[in-house]
Structure 1
Amino acid sequence: MSVDIVLTVNGTRRTIPIPDPRITLLDLLREGLHLTGAKKGCDRGQCGACTVLVDGRRINACLALAISLDGAEVLTIEGLAEGDRLHPVQAAFIAHDGFQCGFCTPGQIMSAVGLIREAQAGQDPERIREAMSGNLCRCGAYAGITEAVLEAQAAMSPQPADMSPQPADQSQGEAA
């Protein structure tokens, strides 16, 4: 028995047949929609390689039943860049060598994007490491990942308005 669900995946609304109510979002993305960026690492929610954003929040796609997400908006690594222009987090990962073998990189990047959008990153590297602790890197690229998150957050933050003092208006005459 197949059930249809509606998901907006990377900005495109889709009606998707679910052949088995036990299929996870990860399996639906990889096998049903051929979006293979999210990786199947541990398949138990322990490594973070399958991290995607659902309704703007970070989740382990291997733990979420696809059928339970009917109507949700899903953002995967494939939907992050705009054409040939990389997302600031992707560019920062490259600039800071935030990857080695690359297996965990899509999950790391999606987790970083979620972390920044949630305004949880802050400027403290230890806080970032703690908030990203659900994403494991067997190669140990953590220093580059942390630097990339800090740089991307700075690039994505709205710049404060110029608060420098303005010269006094001289047109109204000066008192002698």
Structure 2
Amino acid sequence: MFMGGKGSGNKMVAKNQAWKKSPVIGDNGITATKEEISKITAHALEIALWDEIDTKDPEQLRDRTLKYLQYCIDNNIKPGNLGLYNAWGLTKGEVSNIQRREPSSARTGVIKKSRQIMSQIREQLMSDGKINPVTGIFWQKNWDGLKDQQEVVIEPRRQVEADQTPEQVQRMLEQDIPIDMEELENGG
């Protein structure tokens, strides 16, 4: 490995280039060609130019969802939440606001069902190995409400009785609290 300051002419060259095989930072066919970018842009633009719908009408949202999914099937493109919102003529923030303000409305029901379909598609792509697991987990956390969660259950070994004196409770707690012997030995 060569190192040098700015302008020294030396370039840092890593001997071990294992990072290139990383599914996160390496180049594993994840980069899009100019043609692919053009295709994606053309589809997004075409969808954005569809006639507006009344987004307050659940039936129109449902029909637009079906039209979007059929468009994805016909054009061999992966559907996504933002593409669906584009088809509805809404932003991600607007969709979130609708769900928050109208949790029990028919409109929110259509939105939830549509998002569930998107979630199922992502899950299937992950199961089939078509999405990098890191990307899939990221999407599931951001779009599908999944969380990393640990549950800690604390169960008391003894109940503190209401009729005990504060001194009795203190003695009981002192007996139950583990003592860090290393800290005691070091004067702590």
TM-score by length of 2: 0.24
Q: Which has the higher Rg, Structure 1 or Structure 2? A: 2
Q: Going by fraction, where is strand more abundant, 1 or 2?
A: 1
TM-score by length of 1: 0.25
Higher relative contact order structure (alpha carbons within 8 Å, sequence separation ≥ 6): 1
Q: Going by fraction, where is helix more abundant, 1 or 2?
A: 2
